[in-house]
């Protein structure tokens, strides 16, 4: 079955042009002109990636993000007007996995979508199970447990955790994580890593404010430890 993308955009001309561009990549595109319509479409059809413009009339993009994230761990890509505003961080915190800024190059958009579509590649493939104190990771099954209980992670969060787990105790810089998890070259936005690490901590840490497993190494990056 082919890849289905849900594109949420209120501007009809942009929506059409983007649909044509994505269809040229061989993907099937569902469209929604509002947040409410997007949630309906999302409930009806299986979707592989959601593309959401943050500036929507009525229910805004952040709310759509949160609503979809509550129901699913589908990769979400947000479209923002500016990279250097708080919108990006707010969108990521609402559950988005990555972002593009207008006016984006369609090539850039499809590269982002392809990165999100990549299966959660187990970085530590072959290892059946990794343990970090009370944290257990089973990369092949895509399962994470804390103190025996399953934790639900999004695909991006899981991939981030697996990358950190690939070499326990090693410090990964934001650039390295951007490249390995998001497929960015040098020019990725470090805030992606920061927000996702924050989100990951709320799930895998007993006390997210005092993380024991996903640790910040000042000026260097992040590492995973027992």
Decide: 69 and 90 in contact? Cβ < 8 Å.
no
Q: For 54-61, which contacts have Cβ atoms below 8 Å and span 24 or more sequence positions? A: 54/78, 54/79, 54/80, 54/81, 54/87, 54/91, 55/10, 55/81, 56/8, 56/10, 57/10, 58/34, 59/34, 59/35, 60/35, 61/8, 61/35, 61/91
The only residue of 66, 170, 202, 226 in contact with other proteins, by rule CB under 8 A: 170
CA 83 and chain centroid, separation: 17
The whole-angstrom separation of Cα 192 and Cα 80 is 14
Our finding on whether 71 is near other proteins (CB under 8 A) is no
Q: Please list every residue from 183 through 202 that binds other proteins, using CB under 8 A.
A: 185-187, 189-191
Residue 46 near other proteins by CB under 8 A: no
Which residue's CB is nearer to other proteins, number 154 or number 166?
166
28 binds other proteins (CB under 8 A): no
Q: Which is nearer to other proteins, 3 or 176 (CB)?
A: 176
Smallest distance, Å, CB 147 to other proteins?
Answer: 25
Q: Does residue 34 interact with other proteins by CB under 8 A?
A: no
Looking at 169, 202, 206, 226, which residue binds other proteins (CB under 8 A)? 169
CA–CA gap between residue 212 and residue 197 (Å, rounded): 13
Minimum distance from residue 201 beta carbon to other proteins (Å): 20
Give which of 216, 222, 213, 215 is closest to 133, Cα–Cα. 213
Among 142, 168, 183, 208, binds other proteins (CB under 8 A): 168
Please tell me whether residue 111 binds other proteins under the rule CB under 8 A.
no
* Greatest alpha-carbon span in the chain: 53
The binding site for other proteins (CB under 8 A) comprises: 11, 13-14, 16-18, 20-21, 24, 81-84, 102-107, 123-124, 166-173, 176, 185-187, 189-191, 217, 219-221, 223
């Amino acid at each position: 079955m082919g890849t289905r993308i849900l594109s949420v955009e209120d501007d009809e001309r942009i929506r059409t042009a983007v649909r044509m561009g994505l269809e040229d990549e061989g993907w099937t595109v569902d469209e929604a002109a509002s947040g409410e319509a997007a949630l309906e479409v999302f409930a009806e059809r299986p979707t592989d990636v959601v593309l959401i413009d943050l500036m929507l009339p009525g229910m805004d993009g952040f709310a759509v993000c949160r609503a979809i994230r509550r129901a699913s761990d589908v990769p979400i890509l947000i479209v923002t007007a500016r990279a250097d505003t708080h919108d990006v961080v707010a969108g990521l915190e609402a559950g988005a996995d990555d972002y593009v800024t207008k006016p984006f190059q369609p090539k850039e958009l499809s590269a982002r979508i392809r990165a999100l579509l990549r299966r959660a590649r187990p970085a530590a493939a072959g290892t059946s199970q990794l343990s970090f104190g009370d944290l257990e990771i089973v990369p092949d099954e895509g399962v994470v447990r804390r103190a025996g209980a399953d934790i639900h992670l999004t695909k991006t969060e899981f991939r981030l955790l697996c990358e950190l787990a690939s070499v326990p105790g090693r410090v990964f810089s934001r650039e390295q994580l951007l490249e390995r998890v998001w497929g960015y070259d040098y020019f990725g936005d470090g805030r992606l890593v920061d927000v996702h690490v924050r989100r990951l901590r709320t799930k895998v840490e007993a006390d997210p404010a005092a993380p024991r497993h996903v640790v910040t190494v000042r000026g260097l990056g992040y590492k995973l430890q027992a």
